[in-house]
Amino acid sequence: MTQVVVIDYGMGNLHSVSKALEAVSVSETITVSSDLEVIKKSDKLVFPGVGAIKDCMEAFSVDLKETVLEEVKRKPTLAICVGMQMLLESSEENDGVEGLSILDGTVTKIQSSKEIKVPHMGWNQVKFLKDHPLLKNIDDSSFFYFVHSYCCLSSKDALTETTHGERFISSLAKDNIFAVQFHPEKSQTAGLELYKNFLDWSV
């Protein structure tokens, strides 16, 4: 039986993510855990995050950070929202925060105006740049739900893009890692399909 662990480091909407995964699970076991041995024994990982990136980075214990860095590099991993941003090189949020540098790209503040509200909150279209197994049975330009004030504008790992004033990267993919700026657990049918694809994904 496939063991999927939602990493609990004290930050992230763990309950809603795990419930959405359970809703589309057929035979997988969904566990929320910070236990290093549970994470090491998992088959797949989900790396969530909400709030300020500095708080998320500081929430990691040294041992948990080392374990996550090692396991994320070799197992199918889905990173969500600030979880995605943490996998990038750096963020200008909180006067500058170093990321984990697993994915290419940096995070910058969304530019606001009279027409463009920050945070970017609500439904927006996700335009596909490439094919990927996690986008299976999801229509190009489908709507997903976003809540964020910072974004990645450019990355060689870019998979989809979204426009809120300017175009930004709404998901990235590299080898065994798939990372999204939006919240699949808040995105109804399309979001559940993405979670189902993640559970079906073999790398």
Identify the pLDDT of residue 119: 95
Identify the pLDDT of residue 96: 95
Farthest-apart Cα atoms in the chain, separation: 51
Spot the catalytic one: 56, 81, 151, 152: 81
Identify the pLDDT of residue 156: 97
Q: Is 120 a catalytic residue?
A: no
For residue 11, give the 3-state DSSP assignment: coil
Identify the CA nearest to 9 among candidates 34, 37, 32.
Answer: 34
Q: Is 185 a catalytic residue?
A: yes
Do 50 and 81 form a contact (C-beta atoms < 8 A)?
yes
Spot the catalytic one: 28, 71, 183, 193: 183
Identify the pLDDT of residue 23: 97
Identify the pLDDT of residue 108: 97
Q: Is 183 a catalytic residue?
A: yes
- CA–CA distance, 178 with 203 (Å, rounded to integer): 11
CATH numbers and ranges of domains, the chain: 3-200 (3.40.50.880)
pTM: 0.96
Do 178 and 160 form a contact (C-beta atoms < 8 A)?
no
Identify the CA nearest to 14 among candidates 53, 41, 51, 66.
Answer: 51
Identify the pLDDT of residue 70: 94
Q: What is the mean pLDDT of each run of 10 residues along the chain (203 residues)?
A: 93 90 96 96 95 89 90 96 96 94 97 93 98 98 97 98 97 98 97 98 90
